[in-house]
Structure 1
Amino acid sequence: MTARDRKAVRTPGPVGRTSFEHDEPVVAVVGGGIAGLSAATILAERGARVVLCEREDYLGGRVGGWATELADGSTATMTRGFHAFFRQYYNLRSLLARVDPDGTALVGLPDYPLWHAGGHREGFAGLPRAVPWNAAAFLRRSPTFAWRDLPSVNTRAALPLLDVSVPRTYDELDGLDAATYLGHVRFPRAAHALAFEVFSRSFFAHPSRMSAAELATMFHIYFLGSAEGLLFDVAADPFPHALWNPLARYLDSLGASVRTGTPVEGVDTGGGRRFTVRLPGESVEADAVVLAADVHGLRRVVDASPGLGTSGWRAGISRLETTPPFLVSRYWLDRPVRADRAGFLGTTGYDLLDNVSVLDHYEHEARAWAARTGGSVVELHGYALPDDLDEASARARLLEQLHVVYPETKAAGIVDERHELRADCPLFPPGGFADRPTVGTPDDFLVLAGDLVRIDLPVALMERAATTGFAAANHLLSRWGVAGTPLWTVPTSGRGPLLRAAARRWGRNPGQPGSRPVARNA
């Protein structure tokens, strides 16, 4: 693992004996995505008898993958789409280090380019990594956000971005949607579209349906609060081969039972142990349960388990929402994309198209197919699609915009194609933070994990999944007097003392134009 940011924050895990001795509990983990695998790994390493049940036939959740046969007879791995492994994903990288200690499973992309349909383009390669030097360098070289634009920016509304702290930022900004907040800040239009809307849509939601606090926290994690920079790594091989199959073997070596293709039908209290986990045709008696499913899966299990939790807790689970549909379209083309095209490109203003990946520019399997056939493998993402848009129309519109962004693809023949239309990512709407479920539940031996779960640390997306998985394991281990694992994050407050002081002195509630500065707790 590469050296962390010197200001990274370590949250200690529970202290206690190093492992279970002769009293190993049985822990059922429901869900084999990043959160479930993270919890299962820590628990199994301490000697717990882990039974992990995953509904799908593959591990990894939304970062999973499965084999598919192409029209030319070759076999390829299809996934839910591109994922960026940012350098500040400390807990996720700690998990992966169990099976990839040398860090060869991930490779870095040279830039994070952003294109606007109006011709504006940005990138983040070569920037200093820490605030304020990264922001100053970005302004100095940016064609879309120059020093001359600063007088138009509502500085006081923007200052809270420099003093993010969880959960205080949610207390201040969660009642506001991201679009309204950005409107108050008054960033130049092109900079707004490139540097903010692209990021917010990475949460699969339109800014008008996303909490401003979530956007501010994200900006802290990826730009203003971290010295890791905005560049990222990608998996050099398909996710199952590079990450999850090796981790499953690691868990097996620790005595864990990893069961894919095994949906959990419900969880009852009582029986031979504290819980009875119902599976098709059998059940598992468990001393503790980790629910690490997605929104739909969690609601389904809780609905089928009337004895779990309290009525208030169950009602909170039932209120969880998902983002609008998103589409991943992957094409195997009969000719190459230009060699200078980025492995990943973020876009805005190109109708439904949010990004383009050229997989054969970084992934070994896709590169081998392209070398053998003379073609290319291209993936398109469209987020927050209109609910009334049919899939065929969405596919056609994404493909049309690919031809605009990369004109050389217009003449390419399609050897084969795969499409994934999903609507299962958690939505973080304005005002939803207080109601978001936490790792702990009304039962000390029932815990939650996943990117839908609230944890009062600056983490997001895959890193939130890994962090809550570790936190869920820690919660249970503390009940048994067994040592847990530390959690690492980017700084938990604004990076620069002077900038924090300015934000606290002059920042104001952007939801109340003309209001006095907001008093903030230290």
Structure 2
Amino acid sequence: MTESPPSPLFQPLSRRTLLKLFGVGTLGGLVSYSRIAKPQPALHEQDALTLPRRLDRAGTAIVVGGGLAGLTAAYELSQRGFAVTLLERSPQLGGKIASWPIQVNGEDFITEHGFHGFFPQYYNLWGLVDELSIRNNFRELPTYAVLYKDKYDPEIFKPRRSAFPWNVVDLAVGSPNNLRWGLNLTKWEHWKVLQDIAGFDPQKSFKRLDHISVADWVAEDFPQGLYEVYFLPFAKSSLNSPDLLSVAELTQFFHFYFFGNPEGLAFRGTRQDMGRSLVDPIAAAIIAAGGEIVTEASITGLDWEEGRITGVRYQKGNTGTTAPFWVDLNPLLGDDRSEYFGAGDAVYALSPDGQEALSLTCTHQGCTVQPQGEAGYVCPCHGALFGPSGSVEGGPARRNLSRFRVLDRQGDRLQLVALNPAATEAEVPVTADYYVMAADVVGMRNIFALSQGEVHPRVQQQVQSLAVSDPFATVRFWFDRDFPWAYSDFTSLSGYRLTDSITLYHHIQDDYQAWAERTGGSVVELHSYCYKERDFPTQADLLATFEQELYEIVPELAGATLIHRQFVNQKNFSGFPPNSDRDRPSTSSLVPNLLFAGDWVKMPFACGLMERAVSSGFLAANAICQQEGLQRRPLLSVNPVGLLAPLTSAEPEVLQAQAEPPDLATPDTIEPETLG
């Protein structure tokens, strides 16, 4: 038996090299980051003085958007004595974590957009959970795995509570792929990668790296195995593809989830759907504090005067299409005779005369119907049939496809309004002292496009410059049998054309567990975080690929009976492309009575996904409390900067630049076992 060659990761390095790379102060910091004395959460916005917590006068606030950010802002303000009105366009609250009822073979279920993991460093979200006394709505998931289609062995992560650099040491020792990382610490370029990701600094990292995409960054001399094993699957879980993700955002993401996180990779899931587990308790607390929640409220106007917001107008209806909105051309779906606008489950077919557009959103369960030439349209999910004009001709749908009038066309953008909207109430004007705008990026753009009066030009420009990431898709399958599974109940996947993760709902959520125990079946969900539309231009392509890859991932299901599938496909997640940080608005805007909340705002500390949404909502409420002389809510985060931040330069990185390599030839070496 031959001995494997030593990995370059563990080759001895000279003292001179280590001191040059880290510096004496940093080496001291390494020692202080022991397994016993870990970093504690950092405090943000803790007032030095003790101030009143509640208003002593009548104060009002309007929150637009009922996702996690808007719900959090409305909750905090309602607890502080503000009369809060929350306006949400959809029938359900929750935004990207919304839940809604479906039927499967005559049985009632609640479904949602996809699995969400709750990590222990979601300090502000867990603080909210504890205030609501709902921690029992969550269950610990004991392991987390990444499964690769080829080349690499599965990575199994168990909860560890070690901080950087010990978490990296644990990872290196425990990884079955460590000899394939391609990491060579005798190369300056590879040390530089470590310095970038372990040296996150909110100011310097964005100045230095925000103009570079992750794809371009790793195209340099980057450890290829390390990228494929860890960077690619984890980067895509940010819901942004590497070619459209800023390196600065990636370093913030990795700092929050790994390099600056002392809590390990343990996480929890909800015992039921996100609605019952989290959204409904927050909404109940808002109402109990005297707040008002209005769903199916479409914003029809945003009124301005002298650069300030003076009011919001909305209509309440069951379609959410009473207000004009803009959609972009989708060149992947069109041909010489037809033009299509929008993406995901919001696609519109323009009539030949350019005067009308037909919504291709199936009125059964929201999938996008597919053109069938002169025969009309068919839904790829459940077989609903529609004629060329959108009239129902067969299948489970009961309502015709919606029709829209073209109000305006500006190049590749259309402004549409419902042609024959369902009955709606009259337009309702509402005013308040403060306005928190917490819709998703698509909603924010459309709302600000309805502005009337003296709009603040810089704020308008900031909103319109917000980016949307590539579409996401999930499909949930019900089968008549279970199957063996050696990995975690939520497992990341890598190397597949479309699928990024698999979730076994019949192992996690109570209702699905009960159904599986009663029937012997299983419920499996596949998730694609950010696919390319050119590769999957239609939902029929997505569904076919999902099913093909499911049987590759779980061959035992190939002979099972598929009972039902539930499909979600949208293009509304927040984008973080290169050069977007400069124009990204913060929670406090340039308009005193206008606040922003959402996972798309610029944050003063590292956070991600749901924690970013919750923290932004609290920050918006804090900004209002500060204007009113009230005590701000202390917020927690992981360490503000990475351990190697003192070495981080603020000078913009230039790709292909040749840095002076460290001196690796000095015979005075430090053996690996002495580094601890």
- Normalising by structure 1, we get a TM-score of 0.92
Q: Secondary structure at the match of 2:207?
A: helix
By how many angstroms is 1:9 displaced? Answer: 0.5
Match of 2:235 in 1: 200
Q: Is the 8 A contact 1:267 1:308 kept in 2?
A: no
The SS at the match of 1:123 is: strand
Distance 1:5 1:323 in 2: 35
On the 8 A contact 1:225/1:493 being kept in 2, the answer is yes
User: Where does 1:102-501 land on structure 2 (aligned, <5 Å)?
Assistant: 103-120=135-152, 121-146=154-179, 149-151=182-184, 154-184=190-220, 186-189=222-225, 191-269=226-304, 275-280=310-315, 281=426, 282-307=428-453, 309-338=455-484, 340-388=486-534, 389-495=537-643, 499-501=644-646
Tell me by how many angstroms 1:267 deviates. Answer: 2.2
Matched, 1:77 2:71: no
CA contact (8 A) 2:586 2:596 kept: yes
CA–CA separation in structure 1 for the residues paired with 2:141 and 2:652: 38
Q: What's the CA shift for 1:92?
A: 1.4
8 Å CA contact retained: 1:157, 1:508: no
Q: Map 1:10-29 onto structure 2 (within 5 A).
A: 10-13=43-46, 16-21=51-56, 23-29=57-63
Between 146-155 and 356-365, report the one with greater CA deviation.
146-155
Q: 2:91 aligns with which of 49, 53, 57?
A: 57
Displacement over 6 Å in runs of 4+: none
- Structure showing greater Rg: 2
Question: Matched residues in 2 for 1:291 and 1:147: separation?
Answer: 47
- Shift of residue 504 of structure 1? 4.3
% identical aligned pairs: 30
User: In structure 2, what is the Cα distance between the partners aligned to 1:274 and 1:386?
Assistant: 38
The code of the aligned residue for 2:117 comes to A
- 2:109 match: secondary structure: strand
Aligned residue identity for 1:255:
G
Counterpart code for 1:160 = D
Distance in 1 separating the partners of 2:639 and 2:173? 26
Q: Distance in 2 between matches of 1:257 and 1:223?
A: 39
By how many angstroms is 1:119 displaced?
4.7
CA gap 1:148/1:246 in 2 versus in 1, 3 angstroms: closer
1:140–1:147: 8 Å Cα contact kept in structure 2? no
Aligned-pair CA distance for 1:303? 0.8
Match status 1:43 vs 2:52 = no
Deviation of residue 305 (structure 1)?
Answer: 1.5
Cα deviations by residue, 1:351-371 (Å, 9 ceiling, x for unpaired): 211110011111111111211
8 A contact 1:157–1:185 mirrored in 2? no
1:456-510 Cα shifts (integer Å, max 9, x gaps): 2101111111111101011111111111211110000114xxx445x449x9946
Are 1:100 and 2:143 matched, yes or no?
no
Contact 1:174 1:211 in 2 (8 A): yes
1:157 partner amino acid: V
Contact 1:209–1:430 under 8 Å retained in 2: yes
Separation in 2, partners of 1:73, 1:157: 54
- State the alpha-carbon separation in 2 of the partners of residues 306 and 228 from structure 1: 48
Aligned to 1:32: 66
CA-based RMSD of the aligned residues comes to: 2.4
CA distance in 2 between partners of 1:164 and 1:7 (Å): 17
Larger % of helix: which?
1
Partners of 2:628 and 2:201 in 1: CA distance:
31
State how far apart, in whole Å, the 2-side matches of 1:473 and 1:187 are. 43
User: Once the 2 structures are TM-superposed, how far is the Cα of residue 143 of structure 1 from its aligned partner?
Assistant: 2.0
Q: After superposition, give the CA deviation of every residue in 1:279-323 in whole Å (9 maximum; x if it has no partner).
A: 112222211100000001111111112347421221221121211
For 1:146-189, what per-residue CA distance to the aligned partner results, in whole angstroms no more than 9, with x for missing partners? 39843266212331212111132111110111122233352232
Question: Aligned partners of 2:193 and 2:277: how far apart in 1?
Answer: 43
Counterpart amino acid of 1:150?
Answer: L
TM-score, with length taken from structure 2: 0.71
Change in 2 beyond 3 A, CA 1:310/1:116:
same
**Partner AA of 1:301 in structure 2:** I
Report the CA distance shift for 1:458/1:126 in structure 2 as closer, same or farther (over 3 A). closer
AA matched with 2:259: L
Q: Which amino acid aligns with 1:451?
A: D
Work out the CA distance in 2 between the residues paired with 1:457 and 1:148: 30
Secondary structure class of the residue paired with 1:465: helix
Offset, 1:128:
4.8
Which structure has more strand as a fraction of its residues? 2
